[in-house]
Amino acid sequence: MSSDSNGDQNVPCSEEVKTKADEAKDAANKLFQARKYEAAIEKYSEAIVLNPSVAAYYANRSFAYIKTEAYGYAVADADSAVKIDPSYVKGYYRRAAANMALCKFKDALRDFRIVVKKAPGDKDARTRLSECEKIVRRIEFEKAIVVESTQKSLAETIDVTTITVDSSYDGPKFEDGKITKEFIEEMMEYFKNQKKIHRKYAIQVILAVRKIMLETPSLVDIKIPQDSKLTVCGDVHGQFYDFINIFNINGVPSETNMYLFNGDFVDRGSFSLEVILTLFAYKCLYPNSLYLTRGNHETDDMNKVYGFEGEVKAKYNDAMFELFSATFSTLPLAHLINQKILVVHGGLFSRDDVTLDDIRNIERFNKKQLDQGSLMCELLWSDPQSLPGRGPSKRGVGIQFGPDVTETFLKRNNLDLLIRSHEVKENGYVIDHNGKCITVFSAPNYCDTIGNKGAIINITPDLKLSYKTFEAVPHPNIRPMAYASQFGGLFTQ
- Residues with a catalytic annotation lie at 297
Do 326 and 266 contact (CB within 8 A), yes or no? no
Cα distance between residue 72 and residue 37, in whole Å: 16
With CA atoms as reference, report the closest residue to 249 among 464, 457, 488.
457
343 forms bridges with which residues in the sheet?
335, 419
Pairing of strands 390-392, 399-401: antiparallel
First to last CA, the chain: 23
Q: How far is CA 40 from CA 49, 52, 62, 72, 327, in A?
A: 14, 17, 11, 17, 40
DSSP string, 371-434: STTSHHHHHHH-EE-SSSSEEE-TTSSSEEE-HHHHHHHHHHTT-SEEEE--S--TTSEEEEGG
Strands across the sheet containing 417-420: 219-222, 334-337, 341-344, 417-420, 437-440, 429-432
Q: For residue 404, count CB atoms less than 10 angstroms from its CB and return exposed for 0-12, middle for 13-18, buried for 19 or more.
A: middle
256: Cβ contacts below 8 Å, ≥ 6 apart: 225, 227, 228, 229, 289
